[in-house]
Structure 1
Amino acid sequence: MSSSLVHLRPPFRAEHIGSLLRPAALFQKRELLEEGQGTPQDLKAVEDDAIKYVVKLQQELGIKTITDGELRRGLFFEGVFDTLEGMTSIPNRPISTFKPYIPHIAFMYAAGLQESESVFCTGKIKRTKGFYIDDFKYLKTLVSPEDVKSIKITMCSPSWFHQRHGSDLTYDPSVYKNDDEYFDDLGLAYREEIKELYDIGCRHIQIDDPTFCYFCNENMIAGMEKAGVDHEALLDTYIRAINVCTQGRPNDLTIGVHMCRGNFKGGVHFSEGGYDRIAVKLFNTLDVDTFYLEYDTERAGDFAPLKQLPLNKVAVLGLVTTKNPKLESVADLKARVNEAVRALCEGNPKRSEAVALDQLCISTQCGFASVWQGNPITEEDEKKKLALLVETAKQIWTDV
């Protein structure tokens, strides 16, 4: 594991999780594509212009950790599994191959779906091309050389498809005998991507993982137990899967994990439950530098689990919701940060308020558009929420 950090926090105190609303021209072009008019290649020029626009938007609002808004993706997880050799896309995979206890899969069963798009591992996993290398290179052209280190690349967790299908239906058993073999090769592919990104200047990576919050959901735990699945062992497997990806990273590369409860069309969420069930194990054994935590509603629980956060890691509090236009206030956000500080001070080891505050940052709770259609808010709402984060951070911390 990484033994020390050059900086004990993400590069900046106010962040957003990654995805942004699609500008009108791109939204309309994507809509036509979904209707079968045109090809993905037709999107390229429109995406380039849209990314220029959202980069400028972030800069003008004072958001210094720049992303491309995930504007080249239809869904937040695109660009990884669909590029790997050994993964076969299955456009109409039977619903019976999806685990019904997984929160978002339960929605599919309830809707009466008989099939859904997914992948199946049919051969040895190899990274033969980059996930987001070209995306990063383009972003580099849109910022000053000194700001390249502030670009954040987001990518889905290695467990994304495994949690859908389980240990028995994710890979061909003639290819991989067990989960460790599968995640070892997948982790190697991720490490190759991370190294190439680092070599061209990337210093900030965020792994998006809805899986961990699912382990906070009592309905899922009950469903797994009924199905005879050892949920504690599976949680260990998913922690190991990320650790295989992050091992050996340079000390000046910040890697964080965003734990999501769902952010589908219309801002729909799939899961609930506080971090209590997973905090001790996750905060202390997951080999990342930062934890992006959703804290915008009561379904996330209270800040007590932060007591388990080690001194060398950071919690980015997702206090601003992206799911509706209601605007939080600076006063409320400051009060919640102070509440989190008090929880951290009660941790083991105990720490001063100054140390606790230095372990915190603030962000949106999730992306504004994890799927291309986006959440039910306007661009003006999006701007107000990002500006609120920046203003609050300025009032709380002196090093913004």
Structure 2
Amino acid sequence: MTVKNTTLPFRYDHVGSLLRTENLIQAREQYNSGSITNDELANIENSEIIRLIEKQKENGVLAITDGEFRRSWWHFDFLGGLDGIEYYEKETGLNFHNMETRKEGIRVVGKIDFSEHPFIQHFQFLKQHAGDMIVKQTIPSPNMLVYRADLNEDIYQDRAAFLQDTIKAYQKAIQAFYDAGCRYLQLDDTAWADLFSEEGHKKLRQKGLDPAEELNVMQTMINESIAHKPEDLIVTMHICRGNYKSNYFSSGGYDYASEVIFGGLNVDGLFLEFDDERSGSFEPLKFVNRKDLRIVLGLITSKSGELEDKAKIIARIKEAAFYVPIEQLCLSPQCGFSSTEEGNILTEEEQWEKLRFVKEIAEEVWQ
């Protein structure tokens, strides 16, 4: 039996990124070494994405994505394609738990805008080959540009102008995806996690930013960017605490930002990490104040291949239903399986088993 909502997100959904296949990994290595051309790499990406679409269908996935197979990073590839942004090599990477990422980032080199972007063509290819399936497009939220790009004060002396240009660029991007046929768009966002702990607050203050003010900025960036979205475009947001080779970037519950996240954002759904104690309790869900807001509980970890105890997952869903009616709840892995091309530490078959497990639990809970 297939159980799904009449409204997106689906009862059993997923965040978007999937483990890169061996063919794709080899092709990327050959391209980086100069052994194959960009066109040859694109042809291999096309073939692997077509196979991936069928693999998702076989495993019961309802929201088809391209697995982010054309990306190296979940965020930098999109952000680096915006007007006024440059992708570059840095001296240091991001400090994740027990490891440092690749030394890459983005910086402002001109006025921010959205004109042409390869992700539009990438979406069109996915939609063409997905047939009558629902296709989900994932992009980093505008907050990722605000908080992860190195700002050039010669270009933007006024931060407010930078924020407004970012909003306008995202409004154009969202309309462009819609015009290309997108009806399910997800904004991925790790910036909120800076508000979830005192350590995160300290990092903001070291940058001269006040956490309370930045909470308002993050809310404004989301709401203004989607303010003119077409009525039949579903926009969700995934809030993450970092995902790199099965490691995390930050910890902390939603408490500090809970009134804004659950009661002050105009998105249609929220994909939320709740797979371990780092994400805190369900209590912040009490601020959900809309019956049409879908809460996707990320109770299944994407960071390892071991399956959770089904009874415990069902019990946690019922626990969350104390705060939000179960009709508004959905289930997914807590994050993607490959936020960067390196991927998390599990096998492809374990990944598919996880997604089948999400479906199995959802069918039992929402039968």
The alignment's TM-score, normalised by the length of structure 1, stands at 0.84
How far apart, in 2, do the equivalents of 1:19 and 1:270 lie?
A: 18
Distance of aligned partners of 1:226 and 1:183 in 2 relative to their CA distance in 1, 3 Å threshold: closer
- Residue identity matched to 2:350: D
Contact 1:122 1:172 in 2 (8 A): no
Other-structure match for 1:246: 226
Match status 1:162 vs 2:143 = no
Other-structure match for 2:195: 215
Q: Aligned runs of 1:252-271 on 2, under 5 Å?
A: 252-264=232-244, 266-271=245-250
**C-alpha deviation, 1:361, in angstroms:** 0.6
Distance of aligned partners of 1:317 and 1:376 in 2 relative to their CA distance in 1, 3 Å threshold: same
Distance of aligned partners of 1:117 and 1:22 in 2 relative to their CA distance in 1, 3 Å threshold: closer
Helix, strand or coil for the counterpart of 2:144? coil
Contact 1:17 1:367 in 2 (8 A): yes
Helix, strand or coil for the counterpart of 2:322? helix
How far apart, in 1, do the equivalents of 2:311 and 2:95 lie?
A: 38
Match status 1:119 vs 2:88 = no
Other-structure match for 2:342: 373
Partner deviation per Cα, 1:68-123 (whole Å, 9 max, x = no partner): 1000101111442222222233434x56xxxxxxxx84459996x9x943232232
Other-structure match for 1:54: 52
Other-structure match for 1:347: none
Of 258, 263, 266, the residue aligned with 1:279 is 258
Other-structure match for 1:17: 15
**C-alpha deviation, 1:254, in angstroms:** 0.9
Of 269, 272, 288, the residue aligned with 2:267 is 288
How far apart, in 2, do the equivalents of 1:371 and 1:226 lie?
A: 27
How far apart, in 1, do the equivalents of 2:9 and 2:278 lie?
A: 28
Distance of aligned partners of 1:128 and 1:164 in 2 relative to their CA distance in 1, 3 Å threshold: closer
Helix, strand or coil for the counterpart of 2:117? coil
Partner deviation per Cα, 1:218-247 (whole Å, 9 max, x = no partner): 212134345643111112112211222111
Distance of aligned partners of 1:179 and 1:36 in 2 relative to their CA distance in 1, 3 Å threshold: same
Contact 2:9 2:330 in 1 (8 A): no
How far apart, in 1, do the equivalents of 2:297 and 2:220 lie?
A: 24
- Residue identity matched to 1:249: K
Distance of aligned partners of 1:11 and 1:284 in 2 relative to their CA distance in 1, 3 Å threshold: closer
**C-alpha deviation, 1:285, in angstroms:** 1.9
**C-alpha deviation, 1:389, in angstroms:** 0.8
Q: How many residues align structurally?
A: 362
Q: Aligned runs of 1:125-164 on 2, under 5 Å?
A: 125-145=112-132, 147=133, 150-164=134-148
The alignment's TM-score, normalised by the length of structure 2, stands at 0.91
- Residue identity matched to 2:115: T
Q: Which runs of 5+ in 1 are unaligned?
A: 1-6, 96-103, 345-355
How far apart, in 2, do the equivalents of 1:79 and 1:366 lie?
A: 18
Q: Aligned runs of 1:1-400 on 2, under 5 Å?
A: 9-35=7-33, 37-92=35-90, 105-107=94-96, 116-145=103-132, 147=133, 150-164=134-148, 170-173=151-154, 175-225=155-205, 228-264=208-244, 266-311=245-290, 312-344=292-324, 356-398=325-367
**C-alpha deviation, 1:46, in angstroms:** 1.1
How far apart, in 2, do the equivalents of 1:249 and 1:233 lie?
A: 26
Distance of aligned partners of 1:110 and 1:315 in 2 relative to their CA distance in 1, 3 Å threshold: closer
Contact 2:97 2:247 in 1 (8 A): no
Q: Which runs of 5+ in 2 are unaligned?
A: none
How far apart, in 1, do the equivalents of 2:318 and 2:136 lie?
A: 27
- Residue identity matched to 1:152: K
How far apart, in 2, do the equivalents of 1:89 and 1:139 lie?
A: 25
Helix, strand or coil for the counterpart of 1:274? coil
Identity across aligned pairs (percent)? 34
Distance of aligned partners of 1:397 and 1:108 in 2 relative to their CA distance in 1, 3 Å threshold: closer
Distance of aligned partners of 1:126 and 1:222 in 2 relative to their CA distance in 1, 3 Å threshold: closer
Distance of aligned partners of 1:228 and 1:140 in 2 relative to their CA distance in 1, 3 Å threshold: closer
Contact 1:9 1:313 in 2 (8 A): no
**C-alpha deviation, 1:152, in angstroms:** 0.3
How far apart, in 2, do the equivalents of 1:367 and 1:108 lie?
A: 18
How far apart, in 2, do the equivalents of 1:31 and 1:108 lie?
A: 26
Contact 1:20 1:369 in 2 (8 A): yes
Distance of aligned partners of 1:84 and 1:222 in 2 relative to their CA distance in 1, 3 Å threshold: closer
Contact 1:321 1:366 in 2 (8 A): yes
How far apart, in 2, do the equivalents of 1:286 and 1:178 lie?
A: 25
Helix, strand or coil for the counterpart of 1:19? coil
**C-alpha deviation, 1:42, in angstroms:** 2.8
